[in-house]
């Protein structure tokens, strides 16, 4: 509705009307034209929303179907297009919460949580320090290192996993979280470093200069000036770090062999393997539970998430 009143709108038809339409001869025609345009604008708006919602419904159907199926009895799931459970209950969740092979559901949840929180800590600490180095200090080799860092974003990580696995295996770190966390504490996720560099570059240099005049070195400037201002970038990075760690499947698949160390995705896979194929209800419930933190993060921080993705592409 607001759109109809703004002449600067990018929609072509309205401008066609004002720039190329017949020159209004008197007030009456002009008012008539305006109300016509408004009506047409409203119709257009309704059509836009109807169409967008239709597309959205198709796109979100699988997610909704998963959610609603988790309340259905297993026999009602596979062939049922309907979203409304006829005999809805929380039974599937009770089954899923019982855990797998004597290991409680909460063990897996706790494992995932520990890993995700540690990842967030590692990313925030190591990537902010690295980003400061690239954005605000000058040293021989900086450009080459920056190029190397960007290149790691494009590098298929499969080329490093075999030697990494061999070394971690020899160090006896299979079934521990070290192989999964070490990279987080050494700023190996170039995406976060890059995001933070872009953010720091946007901060006025005058702040640093003022601090330098006051006698502050790089350590002081980083901790007292830059880091507090970086909060939005740190929040965005933390959310992504949490979600990616929570959803990670490949890393845990390589390094975690004992079920008691399993994270949620591994547990989910084990669950699907072990339950008889007909117990789709419990699988759906477990799948929802495994996604729950991600969905909550999405609902709470969607602006940060979407904003983070948008800037990443623009500055690239």
Partner 1 sequence: MSTATETIVASGGRVRRTPGSPRARQERRAGYAFVSPWLVGFVVLTAGPMVASLYLSFTDYNLFSAPRLVGIENYSRLLSDPNFLQAAKVTGLYVLIGTPVKLVSALAVAMLLNNSRRGQGFYRSAFYLPSLIGGSVSIAIVWKAMFIDNGIVAQIGSFFGGPPAAAGGWVGDPDRTLPMLILLTVWQFGAPMVIFLAGLKQVPAELYEAAEVDGAGPVRRFLSITIPMLSPVLFFNLLLETIHAFQIFNSAFIISNGSGGPAGSTLFYTLYLYLRGFRDFQMGYASAMAWVLVVVVGIVTVIMFRTSNAWVHYSGDER
Please list every residue from 208 through 237 that binds partner 1, using CB under 8 A: 217-219, 222
Q: Is residue 65 close enough to count as binding partner 1 by CB under 8 A?
A: yes
Nearest-10 Cα torsion for 254, 260, 263, 267: 90
What is the smallest separation between the CB atom of 90 and partner 1, expressed in angstroms? 18
Binding of partner 1 by 66 (CB under 8 A) = yes
Does position 86 interact with partner 1 (CB under 8 A)? The reply is no
Decide if 241 contacts 192 (C-beta within 8 A).
yes
Nearest-approach distance from CB 226 to partner 1, in angstroms: 11
Nearer to partner 1, 27 or 143 (CB): 143
Question: To the nearest whole angstrom, how small is the minimum distance from the Cβ of residue 153 to partner 1?
Answer: 8
Candidate list 90, 106, 223, 250; residue touching partner 1; CB under 8 A: 250
**Segment 90 to 109, residues that bind partner 1, using CB under 8 A:** none
Minimum distance, C-beta of residue 220 to partner 1, in the bound complex (Å): 11
Closest CB to partner 1 among residues 15, 38: 15
For 108, 204, 265, the CA distances from 248, given in Å and listed in that order, are 13, 37, 7
Q: Are 284 and 92 in contact (CB under 8 A)?
A: yes
Q: Which stretch binds partner 1 (CB under 8 A): 28-36, 95-103, 109-117, 128-136?
A: 128-136
Q: Which is nearer to partner 1, 3 or 229 (CB)?
A: 3
Site for partner 1 contains 175 (CB under 8 A):
no
Kindly tell me which of 207 and 295 has the beta carbon lying closer to partner 1. 295
Interface with partner 1 in residues 141-160 (CB under 8 A): 141-145, 148-149, 152, 154-160
Q: How far is the CB of 143 from partner 1 (least distance, A)?
A: 5
Sole binder of partner 1 in the list 24, 73, 80, 235 (CB under 8 A): 80
92, 95, 119, 126: residue in contact with partner 1 (rule CB under 8 A) = 126
Residues 207, 136 contacting (CB under 8 angstroms): no
Minimum distance between the CB of residue 102 and partner 1, rounded to whole angstroms? 21
Locate 113 and state its tokens.
């949580």
Distance CA 94, CA 161 (A): 38
Site residues for partner 1, window 277-306 (CB under 8 A)? 280, 283-284, 287-288, 290-291, 294-295, 298, 302-303, 305-306
Closest CB to partner 1 among residues 110, 167:
167
CA atoms of 177 and 184, how far apart (whole Å): 11
Binding test (CB under 8 A) with partner 1, winner from 28, 50, 102, 138 = 138
Q: Which residues contact 70 (CB under 8 A, 6 or more apart)?
A: 92, 93, 281, 284, 285, 287, 288
CA 256-261-262 angle, 5° bins: 70
> Per CB under 8 A, which of residues 177..206 are in contact with partner 1?
182-183, 185-188, 193
CB-CB contact of 168 with 106 (8 Å): no
Touching partner 1, residues 16-35 (CB under 8 A):
16, 19
84 near 68, Cβ under 8 Å? yes
Q: Within 13 A of 216's CA, how many CA atoms are on the CB side?
A: 16
Q: How far is the CB of 222 from partner 1 (least distance, A)?
A: 7
- End-to-end Cα spacing for the chain: 35
């Amino acid at each position: 509705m607001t759109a109809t009143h703004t002449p600067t709108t990018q929609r072509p038809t309205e401008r066609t009307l004002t720039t190329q339409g017949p020159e209004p001869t008197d007030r009456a025609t002009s008012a008539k034209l305006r109300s016509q345009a408004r009506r047409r604008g409203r119709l257009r708006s309704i059509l836009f929303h109807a169409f967008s919602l239709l597309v959205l419904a198709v796109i979100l159907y699988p997610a909704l179907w998963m959610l609603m199926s988790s309340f259905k009895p297993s026999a009602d799931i596979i062939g049922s297009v309907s979203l409304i459970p006829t005999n809805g209950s929380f039974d599937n969740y009770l089954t899923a919460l019982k855990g797998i092979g004597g290991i409680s559901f909460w063990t897996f949840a706790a494992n995932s949580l520990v890993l995700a929180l540690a990842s967030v800590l590692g990313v925030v600490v190591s990537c902010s320090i690295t980003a400061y180095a690239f954005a605000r200090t000058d040293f021989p080799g900086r450009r080459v290192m920056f190029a190397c860092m960007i290149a790691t974003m494009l590098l298929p990580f499969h080329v490093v996993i075999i030697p990494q696995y061999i070394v971690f295996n020899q160090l006896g770190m299979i079934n521990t979280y070290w192989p999964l966390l070490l990279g987080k504490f050494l700023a190996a996720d170039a995406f976060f470093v890059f995001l933070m560099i872009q953010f720091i570059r946007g901060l006025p240099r005058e702040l640093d200069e003022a601090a330098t005049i006051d006698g502050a070195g790089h350590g002081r400037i980083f901790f007292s000036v830059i880091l507090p201002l970086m909060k939005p970038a740190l929040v965005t990075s933390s959310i992504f770090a949490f979600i990616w760690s929570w959803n990670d499947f490949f890393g845990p698949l390589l390094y975690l062999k004992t079920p008691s160390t399993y994270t949620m995705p591994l547990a989910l896979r084990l669950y699907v393997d072990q339950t008889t194929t007909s117990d789709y209800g419990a699988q759906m419930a477990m799948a929802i539970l495994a996604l729950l933190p991600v969905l909550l993060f999405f609902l709470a921080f969607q602006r940060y998430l979407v904003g983070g993705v948008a800037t990443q592409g623009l500055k690239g």
